[in-house]
């Protein structure tokens, strides 16, 4: 008889694919729900039942959802940015194993994009400040604070491209991957300005603390990363005459 193997699979091997499937499934579910609900093909009966079930005929509901999802998505993107800057600067290296840090960074990015996608999709149904599909997809065409709203759209596209290239590292090479990844800093700056100047909650003290605290932390981590990645210059110490004669004999 063959002896049974006592080898157990690591927990990360089960958690990672499960978490990725859940995040991707949530994003696609939001997209499919938005398309089915907004399209006439979805059927009036389905729309009426969902509206009655969740009370979505009220003006405030969608406005609350888009505000909450926007702030949540921004916080998750900030956390992903901070974690991504902490990895190369090795701030968390003594505390957290390297493989886990990259997985956590990846899942935070996906989850943040999911909430931002919810934030965008809900605006199609908002009655307080309605948007159409063209205004949501193309920057600087809306009548409501077009520059700051357009800046948010460009930031979303930037984060989307950076996240997609995470899975194309072997095709594009690590040098191109790192170069594209730097653009996430510009995306984060655009998202911060979008929230400050296009968001209706920007005047609240708690929101100002959120934007100010997260932005300053990214500035600190960016400067720290730039300092840490600077190559150390070798200082050449001049040889004394006795040392020089000793080297010549050799």
pLDDT value of position 57: 56
pLDDT value of position 18: 56
pLDDT value of position 119: 92
Task: Give phi and psi for 156, each to the nearest 5.
Answer: -60, -45
pLDDT along the chain (250 residues), means of 10: 44 53 66 61 57 59 86 94 82 62 83 92 81 90 90 95 89 88 93 92 89 94 82 49 49
Tokens of 21: 């499937």
pLDDT value of position 106: 84
**Chain-centre distance of CA 244, in angstroms?**
57
Q: What is the 3-state secondary structure (H, E, C) of the chain?
A: CCCCCCCCCCHHHHHHHHHHHHHHHHHHHHHHHHHHHHCHHHCHHHHHHHHHHHCCCCHHHHHHHHHHHHHHHHHHHHHHHHHHHHHHHCCCCCCCCHHHHHHHHHHHHHHHHHHHHHHHHHCCCCCCCCCCHHHHHCCCCCCCCHHHHHHHHHHHHHHHHHHHHCCCHHHHCHHHHHHHHCHHHHHHHHHHHHHHHHCCCCCCHHHHHHHHHHHHHHHHHHHHHHHHHCCCCCCCCCCCHHHHHHHHHC
Domain boundaries, the chain: 59-132+140-229
pLDDT value of position 107: 87
Residue 165: how many other CB atoms lie within 10 Å: 18
If phi over 0 gives left and psi between -120 and 50 gives alpha, with beta otherwise, what is residue 137? alpha
pLDDT value of position 6: 44
Sequence-separated (6 or more) residues with CB below 8 Å from residue 45: none
d(CA 221, CA 27): 29
d(CA 164, CA 167): 6
d(CA 50, CA 52): 5
Question: Are 109 and 24 spatial neighbours (Cβ–Cβ below 8 Å)?
Answer: no
Tokens of 176: 């191109």
């Amino acid at each position: 008889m063959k002896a049974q193997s006592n080898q157990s699979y690591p927990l990360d091997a089960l958690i990672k694919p499960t978490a990725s499937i859940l995040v991707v499934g949530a994003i696609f579910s939001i997209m499919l729900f938005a398309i089915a609900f907004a399209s006439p093909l979805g059927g009036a009966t389905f729309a009426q039942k969902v509206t009655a079930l969740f009370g979505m005929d009220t003006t405030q509901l969608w406005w609350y959802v888009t505000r909450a999802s926007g702030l949540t998505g921004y916080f998750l993107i900030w956390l992903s940015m901070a974690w991504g800057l902490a990895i190369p600067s090795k701030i968390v290296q003594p505390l957290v194993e390297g493989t886990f840090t990259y997985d956590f960074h990846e899942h935070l990015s996906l989850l943040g994009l999911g909430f931002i996608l919810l934030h965008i999709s809900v605006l199609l149904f908002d009655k307080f400040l309605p948007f159409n599909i063209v205004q949501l997809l193309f920057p600087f065409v809306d009548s409501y604070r077009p520059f700051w709203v357009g800046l948010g759209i460009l930031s979303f596209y930037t984060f989307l491209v950076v996240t997609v290239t995470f899975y194309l590292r072997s095709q594009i090479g690590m040098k191109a991957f790192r170069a594209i990844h730097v653009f996430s800093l510009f995306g984060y700056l655009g998202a911060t300005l979008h929230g400050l100047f296009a968001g209706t909650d920007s005047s609240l003290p708690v929101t100002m603390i959120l934007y100010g605290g997260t932005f300053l932390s990214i500035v600190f981590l960016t400067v720290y990363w730039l300092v840490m990645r600077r190559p150390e210059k070798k200082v050449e110490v001049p040889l004394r005459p006795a040392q020089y004669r000793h080297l010549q004999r050799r």
